[in-house]
């Protein structure tokens, strides 16, 4: 038997099943190896080099330990190979990766950087790209700069990424649903691309008008991708944040917003027959959506499948139904283990009722009152963590259980983060107590208010958000003193 940094963990465990317990005993992170799903996905491509990094164990020690265990259990002779120039995962490797990206941002030719990557590393794991971007942001590189050159990052590592096996989650798993939506999105993108190929060269207005209604329909269909993005933002990203991965989520969210803006502009330009602008915007839109699909399936999803446990995926999936799905319905099949299902239950208030300042209500009554108000409420505690939102029947803004416990700063797109932070800072400092906004959403007028919440001694305890559709209220005139149900 020969062991090396490049030995695949799945191959090793198939041949020597007893190594599973041996590895689990060495590091809690290795419990993932007990998951059949993880073995069928990440295990197919994960090397011992990557496994050692995941467990925080020196590679040489890990190889020696495995070799010793095999000899003890089977009597086989094991040779540890130092094959190949591959740089093992770890701080040194990450510094090389960050150095490549820093030079890329400085304008070094991409061909030179690709050669440096292949000469030094040869291979890369999707999670390493996410961790690298995370570190660069933590070290001061603006998220906007990461976003600006995100496509070029992928270009540098593309050849290596495409050697990796695509995720193969079971039907019903959140990633399976995301990927199924991607296939539906690609059908719409391909139809739109065919039309663009027919009219882009001539840019003739009459020819454009022939396809105008079809383009409007395709753009309307494509707009459902917002549900795909909302589930990522409100369900998947919060779970990744619990593992310290926030940078890539911020970058992707900013690109989601770009897609939303392009969709809005494209619809308007097509409706107004603004031919050159519309064609350019649609071309940019199709590229942006296609590029996001590539990043999801070659970086985000493989990384998430590697990092997250079944309990994490259960949390990510809980609440997806409230947001909705784009074009498809999830298939049936995925069932988390029994030990995971118990994590579904959230602590509930004990006792028969709650003593309030002016009365007493049971937890059920409190929930009913809050969900029947014609106002959407959200509460953020003094640590900027989302504690609650009211699950009203008709929602103005999407919410899902994935936001509970999440930092409120991570629940807003990057472009509005500065405003959110300013409100929190002013409330916390006691300089302000109310912030008002109003916006037009289609034909509805939405009033949004933020209130600082303080205890009897004036200590800041959090922020309450109240959102209300006041369209009909604004139209009231005169008086109404009689019941007119008939």
**Span 213-230, average pLDDT:** 96
Residue 13 confidence (pLDDT): 86
What is the C-alpha to C-alpha distance for residues 300 and 303, in angstroms, rounded to an integer?
Answer: 5
| Interatomic CA distance for residues 468 and 253, integer angstroms | 25
Model confidence at 284, pLDDT cuts 50, 70, 90, reads very high
- Terminal C-alpha separation, the chain: 86
421-436 pLDDT, tens digit each: 999 999 999 999 999 9
Residue 110 three-state SS: helix
**If you average pLDDT over residues 13-24, what whole number do you get?**
87
Going from N- to C-terminal start, the domains of the chain cover 2-80, 91-159, 174-323, 354-474
CA dist 6 and 82 (Å) reads 9
Q: Tell me if 253 sits within 8 A of 413, measured CB to CB.
A: yes
Selected residue with higher pLDDT from 437 and 77: 437
Residue 218 pLDDT more than 90?
Answer: yes
Q: What are phi and psi of 439, to 5 degrees?
A: -135, 160
Q: Who has greater pLDDT, 130 or 88?
A: 130
Percent of the chain scoring above 90 in pLDDT: 39
**95, two tokens:** 């510094």
Can you read off the two tokens belonging to residue 70? 């095999």
Nearest to 354 by CA among 346, 366, 344, 343: 366
User: What are the Cα distances from residue 352, in Å, to 81, 345, 357, 363?
Assistant: 66, 19, 17, 8
Q: CA-CA distance, 298 to 293, in Å (whole number)?
A: 8
DSSP 238-264: HHHHTTT--HHHHHHHHHHHHHHHHHH
**Pick from 409, 427, 426, 405: nearest CA to 418:** 409
Q: Write out the H or E segment, with its range, that includes residue 237.
A: helix 237-241
- The superfamily (CATH) of domain 174-323 is nmb1532 protein domain like (1.20.120.520)
Contacts of 482 (CB under 8 A, 6+ apart): none
Please state, for a pLDDT cut of 70, what percent of the chain lies above it. 78
Q: Has residue 404 got a pLDDT over 60?
A: yes
Task: Report DSSP state, residue 308.
Answer: -
Q: What is the 3-state secondary structure (H, E, C) of 383-436?
A: CCEEEEECCCCCCCCCCCHHHCCCEHHHHCCHHHHHHHHHHHHHHHHCCCCEEE
Please name the helix (run of DSSP H) or strand (run of DSSP E) that holds residue 463, with its range, or none. Answer: strand 460-469
More confident residue, 168 or 335: 168
Sign of dihedral through CA atoms 170, 174, 180, 183?
A: negative
* Nearest of 214, 186, 220, 185 to residue 325 by alpha carbon: 185
**The pLDDT of residue 114:** 60
* pLDDT bucket at 164, cuts 50 / 70 / 90: low
C-alpha to C-alpha distance for 144 and 346, rounded to whole angstroms: 37
Return d(Cα 178, Cα 451) in angstroms, integer.
37
Mean pLDDT of 25-43: 67
CATH superfamily placement of domain 2-80: SP0561-like (1.10.3910.10)
In the numeric block, the tokens 């070094």 are attached to 108
Span 212-217, mean pLDDT?
96
Q: What's the rounded Cα separation, in Å, for the pair 383 and 462? A: 8
Give the H or E element holding residue 345. Answer: none
Distance CA 418, CA 108 (A): 32
Predicted pLDDT of residue 454: 96
Query: 10 Å Cβ neighbour count for 302?
Result: 25
At the fourth CATH level, the homologous superfamily of domain 354-474 is PAS domain (3.30.450.20)
Q: What is the mean pLDDT of the chain?
A: 82
The more confidently predicted of residues 164 and 257 is 257
pLDDT at 396 over 80: yes
Q: Closest by alpha carbon to 153, among 122, 124, 187?
A: 124
Of 388, 405, 393, residue with least CA distance to 463: 388
The more confidently predicted of residues 131 and 70 is: 70
DSSP state for residue 300 in the 8-state scheme: I
Helix (H) / strand (E) element for 461: namely strand 460-469
> Does the structure show a pLDDT above 80 at 203?
no
User: What is the pTM for the complete model shown?
Assistant: 0.61
């Amino acid at each position: 038997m020969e062991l090396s940094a490049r030995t695949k963990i799945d191959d090793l465990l198939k041949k020597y099943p007893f190594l599973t317990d041996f590895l689990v005993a060495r590091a809690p992170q290795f419990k993932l190896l007990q998951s059949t799903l993880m073995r069928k996905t990440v295990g197919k491509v994960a090397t011992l080099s990557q496994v050692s990094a995941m467990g925080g164990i020196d590679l040489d020690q890990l190889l020696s330990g495995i070799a010793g265990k095999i000899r003890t259990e089977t009597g086989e002779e094991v040779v540890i190979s130092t094959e190949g120039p591959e740089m093992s995962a770890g701080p040194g490797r990450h510094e090389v990766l960050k150095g490549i990206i820093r030079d890329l941002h400085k304008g070094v030719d991409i061909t030179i950087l690709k050669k440096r990557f292949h000469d030094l590393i040869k291979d890369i794991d999707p999670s390493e790209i996410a961790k690298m971007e995370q570190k660069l942001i933590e070290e001061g590189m603006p998220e906007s700069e990461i976003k600006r050159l995100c496509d070029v990052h992928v270009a540098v590592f593309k050849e290596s990424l495409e050697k990796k096996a695509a995720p193969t989650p079971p039907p019903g798993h959140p990633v399976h649903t995301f990927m199924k939506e991607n296939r539906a999105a690609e059908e719409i993108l391909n139809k739109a691309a065919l039309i663009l190929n027919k009219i882009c060269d001539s840019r003739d207005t009459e020819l454009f008008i022939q396809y105008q209604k079809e383009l409007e329909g395709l753009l309307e269909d494509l707009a459902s991708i917002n549900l795909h993005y909302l589930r990522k933002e409100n369900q998947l990203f919060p779970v990744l944040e619990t593992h310290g991965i926030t940078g890539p989520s911020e970058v992707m969210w900013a690109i989601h917003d770009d897609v939303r803006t392009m969709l809005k502009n494209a619809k308007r330009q097509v409706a107004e027959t603004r031919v050159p602008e519309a064609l350019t915007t649609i071309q940019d839109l199709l590229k942006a959506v296609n590029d996001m699909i590539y990043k999801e399936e070659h970086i985000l999803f493989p990384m998430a499948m590697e990092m997250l446990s079944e309990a994490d995926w259960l949390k990510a999936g809980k609440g997806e139904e409230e947001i909705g799905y784009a074009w498809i319905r999830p298939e049936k099949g995925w069932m988390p283990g029994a030990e995971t299902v118990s994590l579904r239950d959230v602590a509930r208030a004990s006792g028969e009722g709650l003593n309030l300042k002016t009365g007493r209500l049971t937890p059920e009554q409190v929930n009913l009152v809050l969900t029947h108000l014609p106002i959407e409420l959200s509460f953020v505690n003094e640590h900027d963590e989302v504690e609650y939102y009211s699950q009203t029947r008709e929602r103005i803004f999407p919410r899902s259980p994935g936001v509970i416990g999440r930092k409120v700063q991570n629940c807003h797109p990057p472009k509005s983060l500065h405003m959110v932070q300013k409100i929190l800072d002013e409330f916390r400092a006691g300089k302000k107590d109310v912030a008002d906004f109003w916006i037009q959403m289609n034909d509805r007028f939405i009033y949004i208010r933020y209130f600082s919440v303080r205890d009897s001694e004036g200590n800041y305890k959090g922020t309450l958000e109240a959102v209300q559709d006041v369209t009909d209220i604004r139209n009231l005139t005169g008086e109404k003193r009689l019941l007119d149900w008939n």
